[in-house]
Structure 1
């Protein structure tokens, strides 16, 4: 099965109803794409929860080593890890029962996509959350 993302209108609805985004692979380096995208989403009003085992705080928020350390509900898990890591993140995602699994632009894994879709989750891959937010405002 090929990866089929929700329509732009559906993505807009997801972004409108979401408040909390856990960002797996969020760098504490302001020059990195993950930081810039997450900062833009934070500036747009979203709560960012960093997932980075090597940082204590990023963007003023406590950083977690792994997704399963997060004790509150997460609307979107935004992934900035190489495609070969998407399945591992998907397995953690299921354990926290977040609403939407989002792999950033350039990242896709059909096996992870199918694994999550079979469980009824919304999955978006190979799309930039910042770009989609700007396009669906």
Structure 2
């Protein structure tokens, strides 16, 4: 299957191996939601997953306190994992690049593609993964 991000398996493995802290935008407290399942999976794999959801502020998900926005995160973040519609991604990417200094990776979940947001992230030095899920890629690559 051809991915729009053009990344190789080696690239994906390097990104996932280099990442330690993930801001998960669109984190849901509902176990049936993909964002909840992926957050739980990543936390169980040893990643620090910071949940971002303005409707759940102060609650706990994935062993971390939920924050309303990326601007409230006061520690280095390696990756922003986006669970938002494609047409909402640009705002998330702009916020990520503005507030998370040293951000390395933008990850757009399955079905999420935004070439303009990807171009902006690339222009500011972040690598971009689109239309993929780390909870699928990690077992697929044997990581």
Pairwise CA distance, 1:20? 0.8
Q: Structure 2 residue aligned with 1:126, among 128, 131, 141?
A: 131
Moved more, 52-61 or 14-23: 52-61
Q: Structure 2 residue aligned with 1:66, among 38, 53, 69?
A: 69
Moved more, 18-27 or 58-67: 58-67
Pairwise CA distance, 1:54? 1.1
Alignment TM-score, normalising by the size of structure 1:
0.94
Other structure's SS at 2:137 match:
helix
Other structure's SS at 1:23 match:
strand
Q: Distance in 2 between matches of 1:110 and 1:10?
A: 19
Pairwise CA distance, 1:6? 2.1
Residues 16-95 of structure 1: matches in 2 within 5 Å?
16-55=17-56, 56=58, 57-95=60-98
Other structure's SS at 1:54 match:
helix
Q: Where does the alignment leave 5 or more consecutive residues of structure 2 unmatched?
A: none
The CA deviation string for residues 42-67 of structure 1, in whole angstroms up to 9 with x for no partner, is 11111110001111222231111011
Alignment TM-score, normalising by the size of structure 2:
0.90
The CA deviation string for residues 14-63 of structure 1, in whole angstroms up to 9 with x for no partner, is 11121111100000111101000110111111111000111122223111
Q: Where does the alignment leave 5 or more consecutive residues of structure 1 unmatched?
A: none
Is 1:105 matched up with 2:110? yes
